[in-house]
Chains A and B, each alone.
Chain A
Amino acid sequence: MATVSMTVNGKTVTKTVDSRRLLVEFLREDLRLTGTHVGCDTSQCGACVVHVDGRAIKSCTALALSCEGKTVTTIEGLANGATLHPMQEAFREHHALQCGYCTPGMIMASVDLVQRNGPGVDEHTIRRELDGNICRCTGYHNIVKAIAAGAAAMGSVRQAAE
């Protein structure tokens, strides 16, 4: 057991955990943030994607203890009170989910890809960037549409803020 401190969705948390604790278990079981999902045992599905220091990673493939001092954002940290994040709103609007299991990881990956590729990101890039996120329901078309729309909306929110 060892103690770890990190900032999760804006709050500093300190807990004593087993060295084996994965970041995703820490989030789901110790912090009860169950929006982050576990879809596989093999680091392939992307349902567990969260942002650590602003970058999308698979929380099932990181030790909680490795996140000492880091800043973590999960799907629960995206919305602004009752107002959905533009990417969440775009997924809702474009029917980009069916069972919803992959959705938290998809949205966290989408926000990361827009931050790196800009609000005008094209369809080809979106599809390539989804390499690490598997959806077994939708066939991806509506996810791709939602990401393009969410990207544009993120761009105009940023413009409005400037």
Chain B
Amino acid sequence: MYAFDYHRPATVHDAQGLLKDGAKLLAGGQTLIPTMKQRLASPSAVVDLGAIGELRKIEQNGNALVIGAMATHAEVAGSKTVMSALPGLAGVPGAIGDPHVRNSGTIGGSVANNDPAADYPAAVLALGATVITSKRQIAADNFFDGLFTTVLGEDEIITALSFPLGAKFGYAKFANPASRYALVGVAVAQRGSEVRVAVTGAGSNGVFRVPAMEAALAKSFTPAAITSVKADASGLMSDIHADAAYRANLIGVMAKRAVEAAA
């Protein structure tokens, strides 16, 4: 690891003031710390959000489920509030990494990092969530901006994710057996007559939606409705784990499972 200054601010406001000249936020650290250990990241300063208790809250706020950015995967997966407000969502953090990663990793960290194989971005995009930051509110459709990239400014901090209630939601993931990242993960959300399908793990530009599946599922929200809708292999990742055609096929399989699991 390269040397860095360490800060542990007590408020979001203080944290924001420290975000300059190559400083990085530390949430659960499950990506940042391994990356720093390998010297692939060398922030001048680390701003640890761990002491800001208000960022851990999970609550139902009117017609939305609001999850604080520092809520861990284990806390979201085990939350009674999540189970009653949006039961399908609990399965997303419950499938991330391993138990120890889930005890440390956070929803805000996952969303801000926008790893092309992370689970949360698919759920956030399918559910049409709002990313609440220290400066503004950003609709999921405008938030993700390619590999490991979002529209967040350099001194902007995600404080919470707001998920509108009233959706039927399901997530199905084919995990890479070694890393537990999604080889392909598909999130589906049905809200009234609107259906949104978001795919992670597969796109060479990160998470994306599948309009053809959305249209078919809007007519009939059943696994059978998408049997004949083939995902397009162009623009999908090919690597030692799976080629683009394999991933394209998995999108269909996982989408059906996600529809079946939707609750």
Contacts and interface: CB of A to CB of B under 8 A. Distances in A.
A104 interface: no
Nearest to B2: A20
A43 B33 contact: yes
B37 A62 contact: no
A42 B40 CA distance: 12
Contacts of B50: 66
A96 interface: no
Contact of B5 (A19, A42, A46, A133): A19
Q: Which of A46, A109, A113, A132 gathers most chain B CB within 10 Å?
A: A132
A19 B46 contact: yes
A68 B97 contact: no
Contact of B33 (A46, A61, A112, A113): A61
Contact of A57 (B8, B37, B103, B180): B103
A129 B98 CA distance: 7
A68 B100 contact: no
B34 A2 contact: no
Interface residues of A, number: 28
Interface residues of B, number: 26
A65 interface: yes
Contacts of A68: 8, 51
A56 B6 contact: no
A63 B6 contact: yes
A162 interface: no
Interface in B7-57: 8, 26, 29-30, 33-34, 37-38, 46, 48, 50-51
Contacts of A57: 100, 103-104
A94 interface: no
A102 to B, nearest CB: 13
A109 B100 CA distance: 8
Contacts of A112: 99
B101 interface: yes
Q: Which of A19, A42, A46 gathers most chain B CB within 10 Å?
A: A19
A49 B100 contact: yes
A56 B1 contact: no
A55 interface: yes
B74 interface: yes
B44 to A, nearest CB: 11
Q: Which 9 A-B pairs have the closest CB atoms?
A: A132-B98, A19-B6, A131-B98, A55-B103, A43-B34, A20-B1, A132-B100, A58-B100, A61-B33
Given A62-B33, A131-B97, 6 more contacts: A19-B6, A60-B37, A62-B104, A66-B29, A66-B48, A131-B98
25 contacts: A2-B6, A18-B3, A42-B38, A43-B33, A46-B98, A46-B100, A55-B103, A56-B100, A56-B103, A57-B100, A60-B37, A61-B104, A63-B6, A63-B33, A65-B6, A66-B29, A68-B51, A109-B99, A131-B99, A131-B180, A132-B97, A132-B98, A132-B100, A132-B101, A133-B98
Interface of A: 2, 18-20, 22, 41-43, 46, 49, 55-58, 60-63, 65-66, 68, 109, 112-113, 129, 131-133
